[in-house]
Amino acid sequence: MNKIKIAAPATIANLVCGFDVLGLALNEPQDIMELAFSDVPGLRISHTDGYSLPVAPEKNVAGAALLALMEELSDPVGFDLTITKCIKPGSGLGSSAASSAGAVVAANILLDNRFSKTDLVRFAMNGEKVASGVKHADNIAPCIFGGVTLIRSILPLDIVQLNAPQLYVTVVHPQIEVKTSDARQILRKEVQLKSAIKQWGNIAGLVAGFMKADYALIGRSLEDVIIEPVRSILIPGFAEVKQRCTEAGALGGGISGSGPSIFMLNENKETAYVVETIMKDVYENLGIDYKTYVTTVNNHGVSIIS
């Protein structure tokens, strides 16, 4: 195989009570990437989208990830990478993770799968470093492994795949800017022990709910008493979206990544579309442009198109 075309999914990190540790992959939106071997050693990147992202490999998130992979190859190789970005940067839907993860998964297939998935996460984290200054893995891991993933530890990297039942996910991306650095800065460095206990009771319940396929338990556990009360202030309409969607039957939800996208998990498709209508209504009324998705959990991660 000399060239490959893949789809790299959007992901939701900071899954409610699972701040910094829980993420899941979505079936929509996805980035499209083509990677081809080249006789010329090194890496060349081009974009076919309108986002004017940097193409110098060390400044491009996919480039930084691929360079980390290429450093561990004994023989020099050449790659041409073409990126068609469909996940808007800054949406909170793991746009940089999709580029980073997609690039290294594509390279690994061309290289006859010589690296493990955990290796690929490690390489792709270099892309996250370029994007946000921090080597986090909570978007990368679900993008590569698919489904719901737990990053129990970053050093050493410990990724746990969690079974989950069928879930319909409704996402709204209000077209406002929330900088990851701002979202991080407004968090307090210390939290109340009693809030932390509530949070780890909830994440334990959420993991159990996923693995038992107990939707009611998932719903009861989708509560974040630490991050969301602070960060949601940065997202106009958040409280109304959340309240009306849960009243309409959504299991629960919260901020995707560090925002501004908001997601809701639903047991069935009908509710997911009702939730979408509510989200649209809220942002129409606020006069804020938005984009919505009604999708499902992506259980395979990055996939081969051709």
Interacting residues toward a copy of itself by CB under 8 A: 17-22, 150-153, 158, 160, 162, 187-194, 196-208, 211-212, 217, 220-221, 226
SS3 276: helix
Looking at 87-167, which runs of residues are DSSP E strands?
A: 148-153, 158-162
Q: Are 130 and 64 in contact (CB under 8 A)?
A: yes
Q: Which is nearer to a copy of itself, 57 or 142 (CB)?
A: 142
Q: Say how far apart CA 197 and CA 199 lie, in whole Å.
A: 5
CB of 98 vs a copy of itself, minimal distance in Å: 23
Output the six-digit token pair for 80. 């041409």
Q: Is 28 a catalytic residue?
A: no
CB of 117 vs a copy of itself, minimal distance in Å: 16
Q: Which is nearer to a copy of itself, 151 or 272 (CB)?
A: 151
CB of 224 vs a copy of itself, minimal distance in Å: 11
Classify residue 195 by its DSSP letter.
H
CB of 126 vs a copy of itself, minimal distance in Å: 22
Active-site position among 149, 170, 180, 271: 180
Q: Which is nearer to a copy of itself, 90 or 252 (CB)?
A: 252
Q: Which is nearer to a copy of itself, 74 or 185 (CB)?
A: 185
Q: Say how far apart CA 233 and CA 225 lie, in whole Å.
A: 14
Q: Say how far apart CA 147 and CA 138 lie, in whole Å.
A: 12
Q: Is 180 a catalytic residue?
A: yes
Q: Say how far apart CA 293 and CA 30 lie, in whole Å.
A: 12
Q: Say how far apart CA 295 and CA 238 lie, in whole Å.
A: 20
Q: Are 297 and 25 in contact (CB under 8 A)?
A: yes
CB of 196 vs a copy of itself, minimal distance in Å: 4
| Cα dihedral value 177, 183, 184, 186, nearest 10 | 140
Q: Which is nearer to a copy of itself, 4 or 148 (CB)?
A: 148
Output the six-digit token pair for 302. 């990055």
CA distances from 100 to 96, 111, 156, 180, 208 (A): 6, 17, 20, 17, 30
> Which positions are annotated as active-site residues?
128, 180
